Structure 1
Amino acid sequence: MVHPSSPHAEERAAPTPPGRRARRRLRGRRDRRGVALVMVLGAITVLTVFLTELQEETSTELSAALADRDALRAEYYAKSAVNLSRMLIAAEPSVSATIGPMLAIIGLKGNFQVPVWKFTDMFLGPFNAQLAEPGAAPPPEAPAEASSAAGKNLGLTGGGRFELKIVDEDSKININRGADDVGGIADQIMVGGQLLSLMSAAQYNPLFEERDGDGQFSDRATICSALIDWADPGDQAFACDAGTNAPSSTGAEDSFYQTVGLAYQRKNAPYDSVDELRLIRGMSDDFWATFVDPDPTDPDKRLLTVWGSRKQKINVTSANAQMLLALTCSTEFVDVAATPLCTDVNQQTAFLTVASLVQSMTGGILFPTPKDFVDAMTQKAGNSLGGMLGQQFKAMGVEAVKFKPNATKSLGNRTNFLSIYADGIVPGNKRETRVRVHAVIDLTGATKITEVEQNDNTLDQPGSNQPGSSQAGASATPDAYEKQVRSNPAGTIIYYRIE
């Protein structure tokens, strides 16, 4: 408190002029100007960062959920295609019996399988994709019951589809026959001869003059031996030599895979899949694209397989042109040095051209029977399809082939092993989801659909081997069980992979 007698009392007691107070308030507001704006901008920045992060996280989770959903849908589209393919395969005997007489009119005679699996678009097309928009009316020119879109259980909903390819494994070189616990040294020699014939053409020389996939120099015999030794459970290296006096073995197997620094050794057991061939020494990308799988988009052009049986006969009905050329020039069939087709590039080109053209015109059927194959290659005159093809080969400059006696007994025209490549496809806004299912079907022992129906009717008779009956227990042996399993007209799945 200021005393009245203080010299500052009068000054402090004097009121502040209004103008000065206004200037003070204005100066205070000027000092605080922009604070609110800074706070608002800061809040907006924080919210923007938060919302952006939230949006990215939500979008990522949504995209992942959509990808998983589409992948699941595509997988089941592919599985549906596999089941439909097995249904088509089971119907093959009935189809062959029905259209066989019609094919005989155009020269396709003989008891052979009609490769219905090459016409999947024709037989399974109504089950693929979406046949009509939901609620759409049938075309005015056709009644509703005449449209396949009006059928039940036809087509796929949701805009998805499948792509299907069925490949005959019996028309290829089965590497697993080189395992001596399966077929013995005779099968090893046969497979070795087929492999050498496949690789023998002069145009492939540069491939064996460069370093292979392991950085080494490997000739034809070395890679051929490596392919067989991988599946051969013995410890003796197989001598892959086309010479008649060649030894069957070159001594104990070496430790090549460990020597070059690979983290594995020979399997000494049969191959489980074709992809396992990539582990073999010398297997470069060029070798793979030339002799194993020339076109990954078309599995039918694959030349090697690992699925088959010891009694398997190479199916000349569905073998492609390059495979037929390799068989013809195998040491098992001909004297390679005395066969111009096996040494003349021009004749080989002419053979491949004619064979590929005929196959494209007949839906893949080139030689209905092994006899037609022999007649065509020996250029035997006649009215059969083989005889007519032989004249076409002759006109193109291909000289006749002289086969060894009984050499073609390993050829056939039946199929027991089929590969099903089914791609399930789901289109999206900016992407397309694909899932592939590869299944291998073994038709060994498979019965016809009519026989299965008869067996089912037999089980209904009194005293039959129904479950619980006395006769059922008497036949429940492992061999009987395996026979019953293999009686499935759709075959037995021996390999199944989802990619």
Structure 2
Amino acid sequence: MKKPRFTRPFSMPNTFLGFPVGESPSEGPKSPRDRGIAMIVVMFMITLMALFSADMIVNSAVDAELASGSRNNLKAEYVAKSGANLATFLLMADLAVDLGQVELGAATGGAGNATDGPGDFSFMLNGIPIGADSLEMAGQMQEAFDLSKIADSEVLDALKLFDGHFTLNITDESSKLNINQLSGNPGLVQTTMLRALMSCPAEKEFLDKKKVNAPEIVAYIRDWADQDERPSEDSGKSSEDDVYADRVPKMKAKNAPYDTLDELRVIPGWDVDMHTIFSPYLTIYPLPQQGKVNPVLINFNTASREFLGCLFPKSTTDCADKSALYKAKIDENGPAGSTEQVQDLLKTTFCSENDDIAKKFTFRSDLYRVKVQAEVFGQVKNLEFVLQRKLPGDDDNRIQYKAAYRYLYWKML
């Protein structure tokens, strides 16, 4: 009888976290196939570590990019505010210069008024990028024209550290028609003006294609903001709220001034196209003060020829040459400097036949809209605000503003 054959007892390999890391001391040499499995495990672990490292590198790069973008975005915001400060300074300095010239003229026996026109230096920087690049150009001009005696080069060197740039666009808000003035008896003239604006040949053709009745939509605009609940005759409605009866949720006429120009979008028929075409000629500022009826006049010197052409149709026909020539040479001849001069120019140059409309024009402004676009390494910020200046002595001393200007609107995007 043969004795049973004893085999070598099975022993488990050494492991770490479930992976074999070595042979058991009691085991003998492994076959080449067994040793290949260990190589595969090692390569698998190296791959995992490489992927983990790559993920950490990518995350670090993304975090750095986000931090850089956030920093540049914050810089762009303050660059835009720097542009706002510069625009405010230009507008107030321009007013100071005008008042100084008036006082100088009075002291020398001359006469004159503070006027505002397109040639004012507050508009001179419109569209010019202001930043390190423009300062570099200023430094080159300083060297070329030997201006070192009147300009400190160290200041320019310091300003060259200014990251990014901003662009100003200052426009006269008083060159537009105030729709908040439509309500009430004094608003009859403004209502006529808005109808005239919508009756220009191109605008009328546009409204006819959209099947929009100009007197009707003007009545809706007026009824939205007036203080009573009586509908305008041109609306053709028995109540101001009838045109909003089908709205969901339900709404009624506001019977209060417009807070923003975009509020016109609630008016039936006033769509995106209407807003794009007519809003450049409209404004809501200054907002009417409760209990006061302050006439809001339009600055003739800065009003566009297209706007004047709609209000005074003969300026584009019988007086087309005269009106075009006047607008082309207003910088050379200077702006109108008195109410009498404005009335005379409207009659002789723009063939004005409506004295009521002509009386709604003046020769100066204290209301401006400023748009600032700032950019710092690809991050863009847009700042828009409306600034109102104040002439000394305009109001009673007991209710004087604490500053010579105030912001009526401010929006950062």
* Matches of 1:79 and 1:153, distance apart in 2: 21
Residue number among 483, 488, 494 corresponding to 2:400 in the alignment: 483
Match for 1:234 among 216, 228, 236? 228
User: Where do 1:158-177 residues align within 5 Å?
Assistant: 158-177=162-181
Which string of whole-angstrom CA distances, capped at 9 and with x for unpartnered residues, describes residues 33-92 of structure 1?
Answer: 532342233224323433343344333333332222222212222222222222222222
Q: 1:322 to 1:48 in 2, by over 3 A?
A: farther
**Cα offsets for 1:327-373 (capped at 9, x unmatched):** 325xxxxxxxxxxx27xx766976775465345x559x654444444
RMSD: 4.2
Question: What residue number does 2:362 align with?
Answer: 412
SS of 2:186's equivalent?
helix
State the partner residue of 1:219.
213
Q: CA deviation at 1:315?
A: 0.9
Distance in 1, matches of 2:266 and 2:160, equals 40
Distance 1:59 1:34 in 2: 37
Q: Deviations over 1:74-118 (max 9, x none)?
A: 222222222222222222244225667999xxxxx9524244895
Give the TM-score of the pair, scaled to structure 2.
0.75
* Structure 2: runs of 5+ lacking an equivalent: 7-27, 106-110, 289-293
In the alignment, structure 1 residue 357 sits paired with structure 2 residue 328: yes
Choose the corresponding residue for 1:422, options 372, 379, 382: 372
How far the C-alpha of 1:437 sits from its partner, in A, is 2.2
- 1:289 and 1:93 mapped to 2: Cα distance? 32
Deviation at 1:173, TM superposition (A): 0.1
Read off the aligned partner of 2:52 and give its amino acid letter: F
Secondary structure of 1:278 counterpart = helix
Separation in structure 1 between the aligned mates of residue 75 and residue 374 of structure 2, nearest angstrom: 8
Q: For residues 324 and 369 of structure 1, do their structure 2 counterparts lie closer, same or farther at Cα, with a shift above 3 Å needed?
A: farther
Residue in 2 that maps onto 1:77: 79
Instruction: Give distance in 2, aligned partners of 1:232 and 1:352.
Output: 35
Q: By how many angstroms is 1:378 displaced?
A: 3.2
User: What residue in structure 2 maps to residue 317 of structure 1?
Assistant: 301
CA distance in 2, matches of 1:151, 1:126: 20
- Would the aligned equivalents of 1:129 and 1:159 in 2 still touch at CA under 8 Å? yes
User: How far apart, CA to CA, are the structure 2 residues paired with 1:203 and 1:127?
Assistant: 35
Match of residue 244 from structure 1: none
Residue 493 in structure 1 maps to residue 407 in structure 2? yes
Work out the CA distance in 2 between the residues paired with 1:218 and 1:47.
69
CA deviation after TM superposition for structure 1 residue 254, in Å: 2.7
Cα distance, 1:163 vs. partner? 1.2
SS of residue matched to 1:46: helix
Say if 1:160 and 1:424, in contact at 8 Å, map to a contact too.
yes
- Secondary structure of 1:414's aligned partner: coil
Distance change (3 Å), C-alpha of 1:281 and 1:95: same
Residues 260 and 377 (structure 1 numbering): CA distance in 2 closer, same or farther, change over 3 Å? same
User: Match of 1:375, as an amino acid?
Assistant: D
Instruction: Give 1:291-306 correspondences, 5 Å limit.
Output: 291-292=278-279, 302-306=280-284
Structure 1 residues 121 and 173: alpha-carbon distance in aligned structure 2, compared to 1, 3 A threshold? closer
Identify if the C-alpha distance between structure 1 residues 92 and 140 changes in structure 2 by more than 3 Å, giving closer, same or farther: closer
- Which residue pairs with 1:442 in the alignment? 388
Which one-letter code corresponds to 1:423 in the other structure?
Q
Post-superposition offset of 1:284: 1.9
Cα distance, 1:349–1:57 mapped onto 2, change above 3 Å:
farther
Superposition TM-score, scaled by structure 1 size: 0.64
Give me the identity figure in percent.
Answer: 21
Shift of 1:196: 0.8
The unaligned stretches of length 5 or more in structure 1 are 1-5, 13-24, 104-108, 212-216, 242-248, 293-301, 330-340, 380-389, 391-399, 449-477
User: How does 1:248-263 map onto structure 2 within 5 Å?
Assistant: 251-261=238-248
Question: 1:119-148: per-residue Cα shift (whole Å, max 9, x none)?
Answer: 347579999413249x99x73873644445
| Cα distance in 2 for residues equivalent to 1:125 and 1:372 | 31
Question: How many pairs were matched up?
Answer: 379
Structure 1 405/176 Cα, relative in aligned 2: closer, same or farther at 3 Å?
A: closer
SS at match of 1:266: coil
Distance apart, 1:220 and its partner CA: 0.9
**For 1:134-153, what aligned pairs fall within 5 Å after superposition?**
139=143, 142=146, 144-147=148-151, 149-151=153-155
Name the amino acid aligned to 1:53.
Answer: D
Q: Specify the code of the residue in structure 1 equivalent to 2:303.
A: A
Aligned ranges for residues 112-131 of structure 1 at < 5 Å? 112-115=114-117, 119-120=121-122, 122=124, 128-130=130-132, 131=135
Match of 1:387 in 2: none
Q: What letter matches 1:254 in structure 2?
A: D
| Shift in Å, 1:157 | 3.2
* Structure 2 counterpart SS, 1:237: coil
Which AA in structure 2 matches 1:313? L
Partner of 1:39 in structure 2?
41
Alignment of 1:466-477 (within 5 A): none
Q: What pairs with 1:46-65 in structure 2 (closer than 5 Å)? A: 46-65=48-67
> In structure 2, do the counterparts of structure 1 residues 116 and 206 end up closer, same or farther at CA, with 3 Å as the change threshold?
closer
Cα-to-partner distance string for 1:374-415 (whole Å, 9 max, x where unaligned): 434433xxxxxxxxxx3xxxxxxxxx7252456532221121
Contact 2:94 2:120 in 1 (8 A): no
Partner of 2:185: 185
For 1:252-288, what per-residue CA distance to the aligned partner results, in whole angstroms no more than 9, with x for missing partners? Answer: 2134334144665433211122232333322222212
Q: Is 1:326 the counterpart of 2:310 in the alignment?
A: yes
Residues 158 and 93 from structure 1, CA distance in 2 versus in 1: closer, same or farther, beyond 3 angstroms?
closer
Contact in 2 for aligned 1:316/1:370 (Cα 8 Å): no
Deviation at 1:221, TM superposition (A): 1.6
Q: In structure 2, do the counterparts of structure 1 residues 48 and 285 end up closer, same or farther at CA, with 3 Å as the change threshold?
A: farther
Mapped contact 2:260–2:284 kept (Cα < 8 A) = yes
Contact 2:131 2:165 in 1 (8 A): yes
